Amino acid sequence: MKFITEFRDAELVRGVLEEIQRTVTRPWVLMEICGGQTHAILRHGLDQLLPPEIELVHGPGCPVCVTPVELIDKALAIASRAEVIFTSYGDMLRVPGSGRDLFSVRASGGDVRVVYSPLDAVRMAKENPERHVVFFGIGFETTAPANAMSVVQAKKLALNNYSMLVSHVCVPPAVRAIFGSPDNRVQALLAAGHVCTVMGYWEYPPIAEAYGVPIVVTGFEPLDIVRGILMAVRQLEEGRAEAENAYPRAVTFEGNKPAQELIDKVFEPCDRKWRGIGVIPESGWCLREDFRGHDAEVRFDVEAIQPEESPLCIAGQILQGLKKPTECSAFGTQCTPEHPLGATMVSAEGACAAYYRYSQQATEMHD
């Protein structure tokens, strides 16, 4: 299959790994910011094949993982209301709030449904005029165009019974926050390819220059990832800090301009809290005034909710690349995919879930 099999070719991957070995002369810490890349790295064992000088740490590139507990609690409060049909993607149903999750609300009689597109929720609102349909709109820039389109469509159809609980976050402000932290260990960044298919990478050159950190846009197949690592290592060894594109078959510098225009029409920048990290100024989007009538937080007045989070969970340190999942005292014992303490163990893209899944597979293969 074009664009798949050739990027999983073991000989090509081995050749790039050998080039990395010839290029690296000292230890370097690289962060892959996307959870999809984390899973690909562990699934294909790339972290074990890299030279020992290269350490990979894992960033906050999983939208489920960075959704703050208080927003989950707001979702739980809204979903518990009798007049509401609450819709979300499947991963979000298992993310723990302060005391329960959306599955628990559904088990208690709440009308909580899994959808595959926000437009499914718009259709439900049209088909159920006596109910109020809420869509939990989480995600990075990748999912923002579809979520924006659902609000535009609802307004066009005068569906006043449709609203969105918005939890959109943006990658560049988070990158700045990580690089600007006094505890930062990251010396080069593998940027998320799918985000850049929408947004391009025009925002990254000033960040790379300001912090002296190379940024390489990287895809998700083994060859994509090792090529991204090689380009980052070359920059580090040469003393350069630039934004480069190792994913040209999907990403352009400018990105998808119509999608960006749609996002700008519906959303405006706002401060957002990231789970385990805290508030990052202007790191998210909220609905503009013209679409505020479809804002679930405003409609249901859930601002006063105070969350509680497990004191054992170190997801925040994992999401900033400060610690690995295996450094958590609860990992694999008190915290498992079946009984997660934090979102990094729940999400299909979470670093803790990846470590748990692939360490289990490795153990089974050796038994």
* CATH assignment of the domain containing 79: 3.40.50.11740
The span from the CA of 264 to the CA of 184, in Å, is: 31
| Same-domain check for residues 76 and 139 | yes
| Same-domain check for residues 39 and 161 | no
| Same-domain check for residues 22 and 39 | yes
pLDDT, residue 366, reads: 41
Q: If you search the block for the tokens 């580090």, which residue do you land on? A: 236
| Same-domain check for residues 69 and 153 | yes
Band (pLDDT 50/70/90 cuts) for residue 88 is: very high
| Same-domain check for residues 71 and 208 | no
Q: Report yes or no on 310 lying in a domain.
A: no
pLDDT, residue 367, reads: 43
Region 96-125 average pLDDT: 93
Other CB atoms within 10 Å distance of the CB of residue 257? 11
On the question of pLDDT at 150 being above 60, the answer is yes
161, 300 in Cβ contact below 8 A? Answer: no
Would you tell me the crossing angle of helices 204-211 and 171-180 to the nearest 10 degrees?
A: 0
pLDDT, residue 57, reads: 92
| Same-domain check for residues 179 and 36 | yes
Distance of CA 258 to the CA centre of its chain: 22
| Same-domain check for residues 277 and 156 | yes
Q: Report yes or no on 307 lying in a domain.
A: no
pLDDT in tens, 61-74: 788 888 888 899 99
| Same-domain check for residues 53 and 82 | no
168, 159 in Cβ contact below 8 A? Answer: no
The span from the CA of 338 to the CA of 286, in Å, is: 32
Question: Domain limits at 53?
Answer: 5-60+172-245
Residue 190: partners with Cβ closer than 8 Å, 6 or more residues away: 30, 31, 32, 33, 34, 37, 216, 218, 225, 228, 229, 232
Residue 86: partners with Cβ closer than 8 Å, 6 or more residues away: 75, 78, 79, 102, 105, 110, 111, 112, 113, 134, 136
Determine the length of the chain: 367
| Same-domain check for residues 161 and 264 | yes
Q: Report yes or no on 306 lying in a domain.
A: no
The span from the CA of 79 to the CA of 160, in Å, is: 17
Q: Report yes or no on 238 lying in a domain.
A: yes
pLDDT in tens, 228-242: 999 999 999 999 999
DSSP H/E element including 135: strand 132-139
The span from the CA of 19 to the CA of 41, in Å, is: 18
Q: Report yes or no on 222 lying in a domain.
A: yes
Q: Report yes or no on 195 lying in a domain.
A: yes
How many structural domains compose the chain? 3
Q: Report yes or no on 308 lying in a domain.
A: no
pLDDT in tens, 175-220: 999 999 999 999 999 999 999 999 999 999 999 999 999 999 999 9
Pairing of strands 84-88, 132-139: parallel
Residue scoring higher pLDDT (72 or 341): 72
Q: Report yes or no on 305 lying in a domain.
A: no
Instruction: Report the C-alpha dihedral over residues 176, 181, 185, 187, rounded to 10 degrees.
Output: 30
Query: Which CATH number belongs to the domain containing residue 56 in this structure?
Result: 3.40.50.11750
| Same-domain check for residues 25 and 126 | no
The span from the CA of 246 to the CA of 189, in Å, is: 12
| Same-domain check for residues 134 and 263 | yes
Region 291-297 average pLDDT: 95
CA separation (Å) from 80 to 4, 73, 330? 43, 11, 30
pLDDT, residue 256, reads: 97
| Same-domain check for residues 281 and 152 | yes
